[in-house]
Amino acid sequence: MAVDKNTRSIESGIETDFSGKLSYGSYLQLDRLLSAQVPVSRPEHHDELLFIIQHQTTELWFKLVLHELAAVRRLLQADDLRSALKGIARIKHIQHILTEQWSVLATLTPAEYAEFRGDLGPASGFQSFQYRAVEFLLGNKNAGMLKVFEGNPAAHRMLAGLLEQSSIYDEFLALLHRRGYAVPERLLARDFRQAHVFEPELVQTFKHIYEHAQENWEIYEACEELVDLEDNFQLWRFRHLKTVERIIGLKPGTGGSSGAGFLRKALDLTFFPELFAVRTDIGRPGAGGGSAPATGRRSGT
């Protein structure tokens, strides 16, 4: 009898009866997950499923990013910098996936999107509360954004809570202070409801860290990880902008924004301004500004 070499037999030990047992599908609740794609276009447009899945998967990744950022914040508070950096490393991998996802949506042509865009009404990615939560945890606080979520009490509560809390950059600066680095006291007791504002005195502290990396290796590495995090976020913003331009050009957004123009303004926002400003001063004698001691450490430590 001929053996079909293109068929793999099921091994005897493989489970096939899942009556009353946890299966792959039930563990992942695939019935709920795969029924959550509900196109609104009538007749249903072929490409709307792509549009829905693109945004749903983005929100799932945002959920994991928020999970990791919350852990990073707790670890920084506990002075466990190495574990915090592990969490940031995972977030960076997620960011790469989020950025690459735009290339899938970019296969949607302007004509294809125009056929169902009107069915979306005022729904817009601007209304993503998880995206705002990520920005809040990274330090881009904006109390005005809460108004968008007044109709969603759970999302509003979440963002209102994060608005009051320190960001991961606030906690990183607090960790530096505890370890004896020159961080202005006013930054440790600032109003966390406000976005972090550029602090010239910090530049001198970071300049010392970068110019004496071997003696400050763990902190130096943390600085570079934060720079990676912001770089990745900006790349995601840029790909978002270019994808929008590719599909709708300069049309206004469905949620009422100016569209590409609004997204372009976001490229000027920064989470960790001193970590970028210090690059201008590294290697320049006497550069860096501020009153921090030349050692980058607080006097007496």
97 known member of a binding site:
no
Structure confidence at residue 6 (pLDDT): 85
Q: What is the pLDDT of residues 217-259, one digit of tens each?
A: 999 999 999 999 999 999 999 999 999 999 999 999 999 899 9
Q: Is the pLDDT of residue 72 over 70?
A: yes
Q: At what angle do helices 129-138 and 217-248 cross, to 10 degrees?
A: 150
282 known member of a binding site:
no
CA distance 32 to 16: 22
Q: What are phi and psi of 297, to 5 degrees?
A: -110, 155
- HSE at residue 151, side-chain half, CA atoms within 13 A, is 3
CA distance 174 to 165: 13
141 domain-assigned = yes
220 known member of a binding site:
no
292 domain-assigned = no
Q: Is the pLDDT of residue 169 over 50?
A: yes
Structure confidence at residue 297 (pLDDT): 58
208 known member of a binding site:
no
Mean pLDDT of 190-197: 96
Residue-number span of the structural domain to which 156 is assigned: 45-118+125-280
Q: What is the pLDDT of residues 107-157, one digit of tens each?
A: 999 999 999 999 999 999 999 999 999 999 999 999 999 999 999 999 999
Mean pLDDT of 71-92: 98
Residue predicted with more confidence, 253 or 69: 69
51 known member of a binding site:
yes
131 known member of a binding site:
no
97: Cβ contacts below 8 Å, ≥ 6 apart? 61
Here the CATH number for the domain that contains residue 273 is 1.20.58.480
Structure confidence at residue 108 (pLDDT): 98
What is the CA 294 to chain-centroid distance, rounded?
34
How many structural domains does the chain have?
Answer: 1
| Closest to 81 in 3D by CA, of 217, 278, 201 | 217
CA distance 133 to 122: 21
85 in Cβ contact with 35 (< 8 Å): no
11 domain-assigned = no
Residue predicted with more confidence, 52 or 284: 52
Q: Is the pLDDT of residue 47 over 70?
A: yes
16 domain-assigned = no
What DSSP assignment string belongs to 72-141? HHHHHHTT-HHHHHHHHHHHHHHHHHHHHHHHHHTTS-HHHHHHHHGGGTT--GGG-HHHHHHHHHHT--
Residue predicted with more confidence, 289 or 170: 170
Residue predicted with more confidence, 71 or 8: 71
Per the prediction, the chain carries an average pLDDT of 93
Q: What is the pTM of this model?
A: 0.91
33 domain-assigned = no
SS3 of the chain: helix, strand, coil, percent, to 5: 60, 0, 40
53 known member of a binding site:
yes
182 domain-assigned = yes
99 known member of a binding site:
no
Q: Is the pLDDT of residue 294 over 50?
A: no
Q: Is the pLDDT of residue 286 over 80?
A: no
Range list of H helices, 143-199: 153-164, 168-178, 185-188
198 domain-assigned = yes
295 domain-assigned = no
Q: How far is CA 226 from CA 12, 67, 163, 179, 289, in A?
A: 50, 17, 20, 18, 22
49 in Cβ contact with 144 (< 8 Å): no
Structure confidence at residue 298 (pLDDT): 53
284 known member of a binding site:
no
CA distance 203 to 93: 28
Helix (H, G, I), strand (E, B), or coil: what is residue 43? coil
183 in Cβ contact with 176 (< 8 Å): yes
Mean pLDDT of 278-293: 67
pLDDT band at 12 (very low <50, low <70, confident <90, very high): confident
